[in-house]
Amino acid sequence: MSTGADSAREGPRIIVLCIGNPDRGDDAAGRAVARALGASLRDVEIIEEEGEATRVLARLEGADAAYIVDACVSGAEPGDIRRFDASAGPLPRAAFGASTHGFGLAEALELARALGALPSRCVVYAIEGGSFDIGAPMSPAVAAAVDIVADRLRTDILGK
**72, pLDDT greater than 60:** yes
What is the chain's mean pLDDT, rounded? Answer: 89
**8, pLDDT greater than 60:** no
Query: In terms of residues, how long is the chain?
Result: 160
- When divided into structural domains, the chain yields a total of 1
CATH number, residue 75: 3.40.50.1450
Tens of pLDDT, residue by residue over 16-52, are 999 999 999 999 999 999 999 998 998 999 999 998 8
Domain with 109 in it? 2-158
- State the pLDDT confidence band at 100, using cuts at 50, 70 and 90: very low
d(CA 80, CA 78): 6
Residue ranges with strand state E in 2-159: 2-3, 14-19, 44-49, 65-72, 81-85, 121-128
Greater model confidence, 1 or 27: 27
Q: For position 97, what pLDDT does the model report? A: 60
Q: For position 34, what pLDDT does the model report? A: 98
Question: Using alpha carbons only, what angle is made at residue 87 by residues 82 and 153, rounded to the nearest 5 degrees?
Answer: 45
**4, pLDDT greater than 50:** no
- State the pLDDT confidence band at 124, using cuts at 50, 70 and 90: very high
Q: For position 93, what pLDDT does the model report? A: 72
**159, pLDDT greater than 90:** no
SS3 state at 27: helix
Q: For position 11, what pLDDT does the model report? A: 83
